[in-house]
Amino acid sequence: MDPRGLGTVLLLLAAVVAVVAGVRRLKLPPILGYLVVGMALGPHAFGLVQESSTTSFLAEIGVVFLLFTLGLEFSLPRMLAMRSEVFGLGALQVGLTTVAAAALAILCGAPADVALVMGGAVAMSSTAIVLRQLTEQAEINRTHGRLAFSILLFQDVVFVLFLAFANAIVAAGGSYSAPDVAIALAKAAFALLTVMLAGRWLARPLFFEIAHSRGQELFTLAVLLVALGAAFITNLVGLSLALGGFLAGMLLAETEYRHQVEAVIRPFRDVLLGLFFITIGMLLDLKLLFRQFWLVSSLVLGLYLLKSAVVALVARRFCDSWFKSLRAGLVVGTGGEFGFALLALLVRDRTGAGTLTQPLLAAVTLSMVVSPFVIRHNKRIARWLLREQGPSTTALAREAAADAMLARREHVILCGFGRVGQNVARVLERQGHEFIAIDLDPARVRTARQAGDPVVFGDSADEQVLGSVGIAAASVVVVTFADPEIAGGIVRAVRRLRAEVPVLVRTADDSRLAELQRAGATEVVPETFEASLMLVAHVLLFLKTPMATVVEAIGEIRSERYSALRSVFRPPDSEPPDGTHAPADELKTVVLPPGAWSIGRTLGEVRGRGAEVTFSAIRREGIVGRDPDEATVLREGDVVIVFGSPEALEHAEAVLLAG
């Protein structure tokens, strides 16, 4: 790499660290920090970073990974199950918004073809922002959340055609014919169909072999190969790199390895997304933004009003009130990453209507900055617009209030809600004991709360978090983390708040048992010893030993703190077990949307279609039923909690959501 290019990258990284840290302290979206860095250092402000092959390449790769991660969110079974809303509501929203925005662009002097791309950019919403915010607010399964999700699904599909069309007019430089565009769209449609088939027939066997090699680095390399390889191939056939990234994400979304792909790609995604938004910021003319402040502000307001009004009108026939349809409109009224990609393509290639494209790009950017606040208060805004009165509490607020009430009663605190924590929770629940769990995995917390479990996001070693979950009223604290360092920190934090509460700690073996006891653990349960005791108990029973003798022997070993099990031979070069290997089976929640095949059918019928999973629970209208029987009839809106291997879970979801 050119040393000057490396210097540019280092300058950008240093600025990002400083600015994004400040933005996070102010509790603002990180995207704002990236955009500020790009605007400040770019050619339109201080000019420290100029448009170059390095920044252009970073922008291209950033777009590839952005669309790759969005493609991973695409779900064909869910789209088919919600086809009436996806292809009805989604098509109306995109079509009407595109036509209206394109007409306005033509009136402002834009060529018809460029105006169509700009209309498509306006029609796109931010999948990442909308889904994340609705999930955090526990509104993703509400009526307006379902409608918004349907629109976003259709946008994912139609964006392929918009990108192909934009790529065709940019590549032709303004001199192209209708057959050229038709060929480009046909290529995109063919690529889309190829990806659907390849995801089922090629990607799954490939990743099956790689996953069974148990090489994390090989899995990561394979994901990067698929993402960048697809981008390279689409570029070879005359389409864009970004389209290849999106199709690669869709390809892997059709496999049971989607969640692991998301995990390994996250570091690359986060870094390159930041660099992508920096390059977008560099495209924004800061002087133009101030010079045309009222124009940009009007475009932001107009964008929100246009999209919200269109969705509110067309969504009315898909729900039972204007209130719900207006909430759906407010949620998807924001601009989006897809719009960024289309407008950035026009700006970089200076394809007509340059005086309008820059302000529109700035308006889309600002709409994404304010969208989390609009989505967060969509209920209040909708009630204010409709002049309706009603309770202002959200589902999230109601769940938080329920957790606060639970924290004041006698309960068990579970530090960690992984496999062990969930097993303990199920037994406590069966015996009629209440619990609150703490976990730092946002996906696990979201899924658990969706299933009706009182799980909060936080650090179990933080005294404030322990106080908020009711350490003062807790009967027992259970630490389920296998890492003794983490467990020790939690025990010490608990002891600083309460000296007398019993603290049970799980650990992999006895290597840190004494240390945990000194930290204040009441009991330490080593996994290897307990497994040995269970084996001993079964062996003695097979040897016809009386049950009373077996119970007495096991109890004696436990009372002696497992001293009889500590004299074992271990190879000198062996490593102690770390307990970090993830189990093969896992839980998954599936929400039944309108039109799903399983609605009105029993769990027995679902199992008859090849769903080889355990149905752990069903959440219906806020009530959780554990261990449902085979005769249970499923209804629209049910949250079905299933347990099994990743492959079985993917198949069960496809059966439940089949159209």
Task: Point out which residues pair with 643 in neighbouring strands.
Answer: 587, 614
Q: What pLDDT is attached to residue 313?
A: 92
Closest by Cα among 594, 566, 580, 579 to 657 = 594
pLDDT at 239 over 80: no
Q: Closest Cα to residue 231, out of 222, 221, 239?
A: 239
| pLDDT at 491 (0 to 100) | 94
Instruction: Enumerate residues 6+ apart whose C-beta is below 8 A from 292.
Output: 359
Tell me what the pLDDT averaged over the chain comes to: 78
Pick from 161-165, 333-337, 544-548, 647-651: least confident: 161-165
Q: How far is CA 167 from the centre of its chain?
A: 29
**Rounded-to-integer distance, Cα 391 and Cα 415, Å:** 34
Between CA 640 and CA 602 the distance in angstroms is 12
Average pLDDT over residues 453-463: 88
Instruction: Give the residue with greater pLDDT, 194 vs 654.
Output: 654
pLDDT at residue 361, as a whole number: 79
In Å, how far from its chain's centre is CA 158? 21
| Rounded Cα gap, residues 334 and 196, in angstroms | 29
> Alpha helix (H) ranges present in 408-526?
419-430, 442-450, 463-468, 484-497, 513-519
* Cα distance from N-terminal residue to C-terminal residue, the chain: 51
Helical packing angle, 527-542 and 547-559, nearest 10°: 160
C-alpha dist (Å) from residue 113 to 167, 444, 624? 12, 45, 53
Neighbours of 100 (CB within 10 A): 17
pLDDT tens-digit map of 562-597: 555 544 433 434 444 443 334 456 778 888 888 888
pLDDT level of residue 174 (50, 70, 90 thresholds)? low
602: which DSSP letter? B
Place of tokens 């105006």: 115
Written as six digits, the tokens of 497 are 């708040």
Who wins on pLDDT, 241 or 499?
A: 499
Q: Is 239 helix (H, G, I), strand (E, B) or coil?
A: coil
Residue 243 near residue 188 (C-beta atoms within 8 A)? yes
**Distance in angstroms (rounded) separating the CA atoms of residues 30 and 10:** 19
Q: What is the predicted pLDDT for the residue at 578? A: 40
Tokens for 370? 């304010």
Q: What is the per-residue pLDDT for 507?
A: 84
Place of tokens 């290529």: 187
The residue-averaged pLDDT of 370-385 equals 86
The confidence score (pLDDT) of residue 575 equals 45
3-state secondary structure (DSSP) of residue 362: helix
In angstroms, the CA 180 to CA 452 distance is 53
Burial class (CB in 10 A: 0-12, 13-18, 19+), 400: middle
Which one is predicted more confidently, 580 or 75? 75
Residues 6+ apart with CB under 8 A from 161: 185, 188, 189
Above 90 in pLDDT, residue 67?
no
Confidence band of 364 (pLDDT split at 50, 70, 90) = confident
Predicted confidence at residue 376, as pLDDT, reads 84
Decide if 593 contacts 80 (C-beta within 8 A): no
Which two three-digit tokens encode residue 152? 């976003």
What tokens does 498 get? 């309460």
| Number of CB atoms found within 10 A of residue 553's CB | 16
Task: Give the distance from CA 405 to its chain's centroid.
Answer: 29
What is the distance of C-alpha 200 from the center of its chain? 23
Residue 569 is predicted with a pLDDT of 35
**Which pLDDT value is given to residue 142?**
79
Tokens 């009105």 belong to 600
Q: Where are the beta strands (DSSP E) in 353-425?
A: 411-415
**pLDDT (0 to 100) of residue 577:** 41
Percent above pLDDT 90 for the chain: 12
Q: How confident is the model at residue 392 (pLDDT cuts 50, 70, 90)?
A: very low
Domains of the chain: 3-386 (1.20.1530.20), 396-521 (3.40.50.720), 586-657 (3.30.70.1450)
pLDDT score of 495 more than 90: yes
Give the residue from 147, 518, 160 showing the smallest Cα distance to 326. 147
Long-range contacts of 189-192 (CB under 8 A, 24+ apart): 189/160, 189/161, 191/160, 191/234, 191/237, 191/239, 191/243, 191/247, 192/157, 192/160, 192/247, 192/250
User: For residue 172, what pLDDT is reported?
Assistant: 60
For residue 560, the surrounding DSSP H or E stretch is none
Answering whether pTM is above 0.95, one says no
How far is residue 16 CA from its own chain's centroid? 23
In 10 A of CB 86, how many CB atoms? 24
Nearest to 591 by CA among 42, 217, 243, 149: 149
- If you ran DSSP here, which 8-state letter would residue 583 be given? P
User: Each residue of 3-21: pLDDT tens digit?
Assistant: 566 776 678 778 888 887 8
